[in-house]
Each structure stands twice: as structure tokens, then as C-alpha cells.
Structure 1
């Protein structure tokens, strides 16, 4: 399975209520590598409005994801991830600080998106920072 096929297989179709399936998807994302596990993180964190999930179950899913592999990006993006699960927002300055740290890990696009959507971005500075980092990563390839 390619990354693109994987993306389309879970985009807006994540099985939040099927534990064996979401565990399988997490494992598959790790096998695919690169940014795939963070694509899964994005799906885990950005629960659609149409989905209802108890916070304890949401945390269980997140913790399973986090314990399934090791990456320094996990710890960097964790405050943004937990802001979704706990249904609160980071401040724009907190998000910008996290983005600065993530910028050192090229192609962490999905982790960067988790941060982008974790704050109000009232002055659009976070979006501007996101675009700047993505442009930097793309120009380096």
C-alpha cells in the first residue's frame, strides 16, 4: 500500500469505534513509515463533529498510538494533540513555539497540521508560519 492509498483509506473514515481496526491502522501506518503515523494522529485528534467518543477512549487511542513507536516528533506535538482530546485550544504563541521545534523535522506535515488546527490563530500568524515551514521543506527536496 502506498502512502496515498493509505491516506484515502482513512481520510474521514477513521474507525473510532472499532478498536481492533484502529489498532491495525496504527500498526500499518508504522510499517509505511515517514509521515503516515502522524496522518493517523491527525485523524485521531481531529475527531469529526459527527463522531462522539468518550474522552477516556480518546486518550486510550492516543496512548496506544504514542506507545506503538518512537519519534522525537511525538513529544513535540503532544501538547497540540492533547488540546484536541481535552477540547481546549493552545494559545497562538504556544502553537508557534511548537511549530518552530517541528520545523527541524522535515516532512512532518501532519504533525504540523495538528498544531495548525490546535489554536484560534486570530491574527493568522500560525497559518503564515505553517506555510513558511512547508515552503522551506519543499524547497529542500
Structure 2
């Protein structure tokens, strides 16, 4: 399965209430591409309003995701991830700090998006930082 096929197979279709299926998807993501597990993280964190997910189940899913593979990006993006799960925004300055750290890991697009959507971005500085990092990564290839 290609990255694109994987993306469309889970985008807005994540099986939050089917444990064996979300565990399978997490495992599959690790085999697809370096950024694919963070695509799954994005789905885990941004539960649609139409879905009701108990916080303990949400944390269980996140913890399973985190222990399924090793990447320095996991720890960097964790404050933003946990802010979603706990339904609390991080500050714009914290988001900017996290993005700066993530900029050292080219093509971590999905981790960067988790951070982008985890703060209020009142002055649109976080969005600007996001765009600058994406442009920097794209120009390096």
C-alpha cells in the first residue's frame, strides 16, 4: 500500500471503537513511511465531533501508538498530542518552540500539523512558522 492509499484509507474513517483494527493500522503505518505513524497520530488526536471517545480509551490508544515504534519526533510532539486528548490548547509560544524542534526532522509534516492545530494561533504566527518550515523542507529536496 502506498502512503497516499494509506492516507485515504484512514482519513475521516479511523476506527476509534475497533481496538484490533486501530492497532492493525498503527502497525501498518510503521511499515509504510517514516511520517505515516504521525498521520495516524493526527487521526488519534483530532477525533471528529461526531465521535464520542472515552478519555481513558483515548489515552490507551495514544499510549499504544507511542510504544509501537521509536522516533525522536514522538517526544517532541507529545505536548501537542496530549493537549488534543485533554482538550486543552497549548500556548502559541509553546507551539512555536515545538515547531522549531521539529524543523530538524525533515518531512515530519503530520507531526507539524498536530502542533499547528493544538494552539489558538491568535496572531497567525504558528501558521506562518508552519508554512516556512514546509517550504524549507520542500526546497531541500
Once the two structures are superposed, residues 64-96 of structure 1 have per-residue CA deviations (whole angstroms, 9 ceiling, x without a partner) of: 000000000000000000000000000000000
Partner of residue 35, structure 1? 35
Partner of residue 67, structure 2? 67
* Cα offset, 1:34, TM superposition: 1.4
* Cα offset, 1:33, TM superposition: 2.5
Q: TM-score, normalised by structure 1?
A: 0.99
User: Which 5+ residue runs of structure 2 have no aligned equivalent?
Assistant: none
Partner of residue 54, structure 2? 54
Q: TM-score, normalised by structure 2?
A: 0.99
Does residue 23 (structure 1) correspond to residue 13 (structure 2)? The answer is: no
Where does structure 1 differ by over 3 angstroms across 4 or more consecutive aligned residues? none
Once the two structures are superposed, residues 25-67 of structure 1 have per-residue CA deviations (whole angstroms, 9 ceiling, x without a partner) of: 0000001121100000000000101110000000000000000
- For the residues of structure 2 that align with 1:48 and 1:138, how far apart are their CA atoms? 30
- For the residues of structure 2 that align with 1:111 and 1:51, how far apart are their CA atoms? 22
Partner of residue 90, structure 1? 90
- For the residues of structure 1 that align with 2:84 and 2:7, how far apart are their CA atoms? 21
Pairing 1:53-132 to 2, within 5 Å after superposition: 53-132=53-132
Partner of residue 2, structure 2? 2
The number of residue pairs the alignment matches comes to 141
* Cα offset, 1:9, TM superposition: 0.1
